[in-house]
Chain A
Amino acid sequence: MSDRSAQEVIRDLETGRMSWGEVKEILRQKKTPSRFSEYRETLAETTPFGDRVLVRVGEYLFVVVEPDGSHSLRCGECEHNFGDPRINWKLSSRVRVRRTLEEFLEVYLYEEVCPEPGIAEIREYFCPGCFTLLCVECVPTGYPPVFEFLPDLNSIYRDILHEPVPSGPDEAWTFEDLTMSKVEAWASNNTGSTQGAAR
């Protein structure tokens, strides 16, 4: 693989274009600190965001640096903006909930290995822009959505990239979970707007 650049190698890997022999070779290679920047260069090519992409937080979700220097979570397929990465993106998605056995059996083959309707529901979270499936949750009714990954952007800049946070609104960025702010907004909005984040 020496004839290929690190970016090409990672891209081929992620697009599933590699033989097991090559994968094995990569797995055996010594891990190097340069990987993060190499990966960002790969993402700059493979996502619509170019070098504005900071970090990948999910298969389709990326933290992107906006022109004004702020950070937002965007869909890598359609660039839909989910807003502040510190708010659980699921609150800005569209969701399909499967509650009955019939609905379960549309995505699982045998009822014997399905969850118990009534005590479990399957939530499918879609991108409002392109309806790509972003995440599936199987939880009890009334369970708050799981906030899988809240990255510490300050530390990424300081400890991995060794560069300052871009000037702009996020210069004083704080590492905190802001999910509840959105819920509170809904609670105070009694007109029950169903537009939510689906703009």
Chain B
Amino acid sequence: MKKVIGLTSTKLLGDRTLIEQITHSEALTESGLYHGLEHLVERDRDPITYERFYDAIHSVVMGARETSKNVAASPGARELGELLFALLTPEGHAIAVSSGLVGHQGAFRIAIKYMAENGYDVNPGIKPGDIFTACDPATSGTPHPGDVYTFIPLFHEDEFIGWAAGMNHTMEAGGAVPGAWPPWSPNTFTDGYLLPPTKVGENFEDYTWLYKHFERRTRAPMFNILDQKMRVAGCKMVVDSMAGIIEKFGLDYVRAASREIIEETRQICVGNVKLLTVPGRTRYVSFRTVLYKGIVDGVWPQSAHNWLLHLYTETQVNTAEGKIHVNWDKISPANFHAMGGYQGILESNLWLNVMDSIGLGLKPNSGMNLAVTYDMPEGGLFNPPSDRYSAGNPWASSVTLFNGFSGGLETSKRARGFVEESWNADLCWTGIQGEITLKDGFSFGFCQMDLLGASATPARPYMDGEPLATAWWNPASDTGSVEEWEYVLPGIYYLCKNVLPGYCGHGKFRGGLGMQLAFVVSDEVKEAIIGKIGATTGNYFTTQASVPGGSYPAPTSTLIVYRGTNILELMAQGEYPDGLEELYEWVDQGKLTHQGRELHKEEVGALLVRPGDVYIVAGNGTGGWGDPLHRSVELVERDVKEQFVSAETAADIYGVPVSDLAGDSTSITQAAVRRREELRQARAAQSVPFEEFWREERQKVVGNEMHEFVADAYAELNAFSPAFKQEFHEFWQLPNETPGVGNE
């Protein structure tokens, strides 16, 4: 029998407890250098061995991912690759990460620190083969309950040397409304089944109670159990493989080189800032509406409110020192809705957003999180005043918020001349989730990740965006296959999964077209609950109020429901519409009958749909770059030919009247010149000098002639953010006591 060994408060890395070790490391990192490393001794002594060591640990985490994901049940993990494995230092800093949901590596340390602060090394103890799992955003860094983390400690003989970590996006979180991103969740108690970091197994085997909890407290237990098995399998592979690596390189080397790899990554980020940016200040903003009034009033009076979220990001670029600082001092305050979150969502997003810019050409790990500093004010949307606040759906609001940060980097890179590395950063995602009830009463929750797996790429200064081509949160983007999804979500049929013509921000280069997914609830099921969430949702244009390229931003996403239609009869006769256009025609013709239509631009937590109901989700279009009147006539012609935009759009937005002409390119070019001149004159006629606009708009502000919704938002912001209040008052030249603008 192998002797039982593990951590005790008197033995860890010399004689420090886990918390002492973390404090020690944090103190060293105060110097601005990771772990206080002034020199990368091992790398400089022998760069070759150093690279070999990194290759070795990297292949360990990659191998763990490739194998274990095959155990996964969630289409998210298996089909879309939404999982991650990492090797961590004792403090939880990622040294090497696999491909997949790479952002999360920044958040792992939060769970480790929580365990340390609460003396887990004494009780329940941390021993080889112990399994710790966590999905509580307030304590473990997981951005939302749908992201589940698992940790297994790494020992060499009787010495604790780090962690194997695995995470994936699960199918169902067990919240007040079904799915993994509950958008209707007033507080932490409605977010779902939340595990603070918890010892859920030993000797690499889960305790039975964990599975029973999944069965009782989530709506997709089988998926969640398999995902847990997957995370454990992957972590075990990392633990087993590390033994060989330690043997080969020696324990001291492994420890030293691991620290250096993290510091080296920080240094490369700093170097990239110096190389890629122009110094200065960028500001980008976007808005979201959160509508709870009339939905939750009865049960959650604190949430009987509609909010307008101010997702405002100021990015300060210090090229000389290679520093980037993000200032969120004008963000909306935290409130009792699901759009807020805790530190984990910020750390995850940061990494995702630097990866493609100042993160180029480095070894992905926690060093990147040290390269960017930020201020999220106390009480701000992602720094709530207590741990009672919901973190149900922060991916929706935070991806939007961070597009502002990314937009700043893109602007700065373009100014420096790195045209190829610049685009209109407004990536987005749209999730569908819910619960299907079969005729026998059996029900199961789900996430439909078609439009989470990939977004359209935005327009660049030199080319159009493309549909479903990338996703920051999941670099190997993949939406899955219709045939797979229909296996997982039986009884609900796709009527279409197509690009939606004209559904993008128009410009000299246009955004990537968004998608339209249409579904019909068949009579094979009793009923279903559906919800729709995402970064593009809300009553504003997606993700950025203004875009770096100076063109039209992407349209928002939407959910349209037709109740009690005759679609099942039509299908039986071999007919169904192929998307919005035809569906609208059929409705007008009375060919498709219905008993009611609902339109949901904002997020929806739970709609009951029954056999014969049709619902359409449109989302994931992106914004353009440059003035549409500057688009090449050839590209406009191609778009019309490919049915990417209509002839009307070509004539009225791009000023290329293709439809009027017999395709003779010279005559089209001449016609375009004329049409574009008309449109410019219209611009002249319909626009006013800004000062004039200022005077009119100012009257509205002073006289509080604004939608109540908007007035409330200003009042809230003026009360919460001194910086916002100052700018707002100065810009409109308001006396403090102006009504409706939140004078305390």
Contacts and interface: CB of A to CB of B under 8 A. Distances in A.
Tell whether A pairs with B: yes
Interface of A: 10, 13-16, 18, 20, 23, 26-27, 31, 33, 35-36, 38-40, 42, 55-60, 90-97, 106-110, 112-116, 118-120, 122, 124-126, 128, 130-152, 155-156, 158-160, 175, 177, 179-180, 183-184, 186-187, 192-198
A7 to B, nearest CB: 10
Contact of A141 (B412, B514, B629, B707): B707
Contacts of B706: 140-142
B627 A132 contact: yes
Interface string B714-744: 1000000000000110111100000000000
Contacts of B683: 94, 96, 124, 126, 131, 133
B417 A10 contact: yes
A113 B555 contact: yes
Contacts of A119: 289, 308, 539, 707, 709-710
B461 A14 contact: yes
Contacts of B418: 31, 35
A175 B599 CA distance: 47
B545 A186 contact: no
A159 B323 CA distance: 13
A133 B503 contact: no
18 contacts: A20-B463, A31-B276, A31-B421, A57-B415, A58-B550, A59-B627, A60-B627, A94-B688, A95-B693, A119-B289, A120-B541, A137-B546, A138-B287, A152-B279, A186-B691, A186-B695, A196-B691, A196-B692
Contacts of B697: 141-142
Contacts of B555: 108-110, 113-114
A140 B689 contact: no
A126 to B, nearest CB: 5
A183 B733 contact: yes
Contacts of B556: 113-115
Interface string B540-561: 1100011111111101111010
Interface stretch (B34-42, B519-527, B645-653): B645-653
A112 B555 CA distance: 9
B701 A128 contact: no
B632 A16 contact: yes
Contacts of A114: 555-556
Contacts of A13: 419-420, 461-462
Contacts of B652: 106
Given A116-B289, A131-B684, A142 B710 contact: yes
Contacts of A134: 550, 627
B628 interface: yes
Contacts, number: 281
B545 A95 contact: no
Interface of B: 272, 275-276, 278-285, 287, 289, 308, 318-320, 360, 411-412, 414-421, 461-463, 501-503, 506, 508-509, 514, 539-541, 545-553, 555-558, 560, 580, 599, 601, 618, 621, 625-630, 632, 646, 649, 652-653, 680, 683-684, 686-695, 697, 700-701, 706-707, 709-710, 713-714, 727-728, 730-733
A4 to B, nearest CB: 14
Contacts of B550: 58-60, 133-136
B709 to A, nearest CB: 5
Contact of B287 (A23, A36, A139, A183): A139
B281 A149 contact: yes
Given A33-B275, A138-B553, A128 B689 contact: yes
A114 B553 CA distance: 11
The residue in A26, A93, A143, A175 that gathers the most chain B C-beta atoms within 10 A of its C-beta is A143
B319 A160 contact: yes
A58 B714 CA distance: 29
Contacts of A175: 280
A14 B276 CA distance: 17
Given A140-B287, A141-B710, A187-B733, A151 B545 contact: no
Q: Choose among B509, B558, B627, B730 the residue with the greatest number of A CB atoms under 10 Å from its CB.
A: B627
B279 A136 contact: no
B732 A144 contact: yes
Highest count of chain A CB atoms <10 Å: which of B417, B462, B693, B707: B417
A94 B420 contact: no
Leading 10 A-B pairs by shortest Cβ distance: A39-B417, A196-B691, A196-B689, A116-B539, A113-B555, A155-B279, A151-B280, A109-B502, A94-B687, A133-B627
A42 to B, nearest CB: 8
B124 to A, nearest CB: 49
Nearest to B544: A138
A91 to B, nearest CB: 5
Contacts of A136: 546-547, 550-553
Nearest to B632: A16
Given A119-B289, A159-B319, 7 more contacts: A27-B421, A58-B548, A114-B556, A130-B680, A132-B629, A133-B551, A141-B706
A124 B687 contact: yes
Given A18-B462, A142-B701, A109 B649 contact: yes
Nearest to B599: A112
Nearest to A180: B730
Contacts of A57: 411, 415
Contacts of A56: 414-415
Contacts of A113: 503, 514, 555-558, 601, 618, 621
A120 B289 CA distance: 11
Contact of B279 (A15, A125, A159): A159
Contacts of A58: 411, 548, 550
A115 B541 contact: yes
A194 B695 CA distance: 9
A184 B734 CA distance: 11
B580 to A, nearest CB: 7
A124 to B, nearest CB: 7
Contacts of B308: 119, 140
